[in-house]
Every structure is written in structure tokens, then in C-alpha cells.
Amino acid sequence: MADENISSAFVFFAVVAIVASIFSLGLVYMSANTLLTKISGYVSSGETNLTVVTQTEVNFSTRAISWGSGRVPQDGTAASLTTSNHSGIANVTGGNWTLVTTGGMRIENIGNVNVSINFTVGKNASSFIGGTNPVYEWNLSNLEANSCANAAGSAASSRLNLLLQANTTNITQQNLGCSIFPFEAGKDTIRLDFNLTIPENSISGVLGDVVTATVTAL
């Protein structure tokens, strides 16, 4: 029989964004040579100048995920919690948690310059969830087509649509991110989903982790 005190947990995520390069400055020059006026036999010309400031800004339209309070039932061994509801998969199976906000973390490039974005987590499955065979996985996908490109900008990032183990160690194969995260409307929004397995002997109490997004202007 599972220990009711141990199997009960409040599960949530939060997010921190780090902007590595805040802005750069661009200048657009326009010459109005067509604006010619003859005054007393002389020709004068007017000039118009303007400055366009580039802005690096990424917005988390969904920045926190919570399943609230729940537990693995006495006759169960583990519960599955996910932010994805694709292909008819329920958000919670084997437990009585309830996902508060569906659709994962949603991130949009609202600046006017392309950026790179990389995500890291603060905990591993053992420190986040604990117990026997906990699972802490994440997946990055395009919410809008072509929002996450490789370094050449010619194809989708190889880190897309892979359910990978979330890990604090600097393992390239486990890190998620986009070499190019465009700013153009219609291809500037990505989504970060999570898949958790909570064993019956997990850590009890409030379980949470922080996802850090590091953003660099290109």
C-alpha cells in the first residue's frame, strides 16, 4: 500500500528569461534629392534622417505550469503528468492532479531582430520528483511553422519534436533551443512541453523547477 503522505505533491514550473544581448543600433539614411527648390537662381536640397533601433525581446505568453495538488492512489504505482494533449493523450493518468493551464510554455519573439534561444532546467528527475524511476522529460516544437531554425536558417532545428530527458548537466544532446528564432509575424512562436512520471514514493510537498531561457541577438 502506498504511503499517502509521500505520494501527495503539488507540481509546478516557472520560467526565467535571460537576455544576453539587449539591443543593437541600426541607421537608415534617406536622401530627398527630389525635393529641389530654386531660390534666387540657387538650388537647395533637403535631407531626411531617421534611426531604427533594434530591440531584442522574447515574451512568455505562458510562463508558469501547474498541476495543482494530487496523489498516486493507494492501489497505483505511479502517475503520468503531461502538458500535451495530442493524439487523445490525457494530461493526467494514474493520479488526481489537474493541469491548470494547457498547451505548455509558449514563447514568442516580439522584438525586431532574430535571436538564438536556449533552455536549461534547474533540477534532474531525482531532485525534482524523487522516488523510484521518476521521469522528467521535455519537448520543443513549433507553434507556428518555421519558428525554430538551424544555424544556416535552411531547415528546422534538430532539437525539435524530441522527447528528451531534462537534465542539469551540460549535455548537448539533451539541451533544447533554436539557433535562429525569427521575429517575423507568422513564424515567431514556439512551445515547450513537459512529461513527468510521479512514483508512489516520490518526494511529498510542493515540487517545482525553474526553466531558464537564454536569449542572444543575432
Q: Kindly state whether residues 96 and 165 are assigned to the same domain.
A: yes
User: For residue 162, which amino acid is it?
Assistant: L
Does residue 42 sit in the same domain as residue 138? no
pTM above 0.85, yes or no: no
Q: Residue written as cell 531547415?
A: 155
* Tens digits of pLDDT across the chain (218 residues): 434 434 456 666 665 555 543 333 333 333 334 444 444 555 566 777 777 778 889 999 888 899 999 999 999 999 999 997 555 567 899 999 998 888 899 999 999 999 999 998 999 999 999 999 999 999 999 999 999 999 888 888 888 998 899 988 765 556 799 999 999 999 999 999 999 999 999 999 999 999 989 999 99
Residues 130-169: tens digit of each pLDDT = 999 999 999 999 999 999 999 888 888 888 998 899 988 7
Q: Which three cell numbers stand for residue 111?
A: 522584438
- In this structure, the answer to whether residues 44 and 113 fall within a common structural domain is no
pLDDT of 200 reads 95
Interatomic CA distance for residues 8 and 3, integer angstroms: 9
Longest dimension (CA), the chain: 102
- Predicted local confidence at residue 52, as pLDDT: 76
CA angle 79, 85, 86 (to 5 degrees): 125
Question: Are 193 and 99 spatial neighbours (Cβ–Cβ below 8 Å)?
Answer: no
- What is the C-alpha to C-alpha distance for residues 87 and 91, in angstroms, rounded to an integer? 11
Residue 1 has a pLDDT of 42
* Residues spanned by the domain of 29: 25-54
Which CB contacts under 8 angstroms, 24+ apart, belong to 182-188? Answer: 182/109, 182/114, 182/146, 182/147, 182/149, 183/109, 183/110, 183/111, 183/112, 183/113, 183/114, 183/115, 186/144, 187/144, 187/145, 187/146, 187/147, 188/108, 188/109, 188/110, 188/144, 188/147
pLDDT for res 34: 42
- In this structure, what DSSP letter does residue 192 have? E
Distance CA(211)–CA(191), nearest Å, equals: 13
The answer on 117 and 39 residing in a single domain is no
What was the pLDDT predicted at 124? 92
> Are 16 and 29 found together in one domain?
no
Q: Domain total for the chain? A: 2
CB-based burial label for 144 (10 Å; 0-12, 13-18, 19+): middle
Residues 31 and 130 in one domain: no
Residues 40, 127, single domain; the answer is no
Answer yes or no: do 44 and 84 share one domain: no
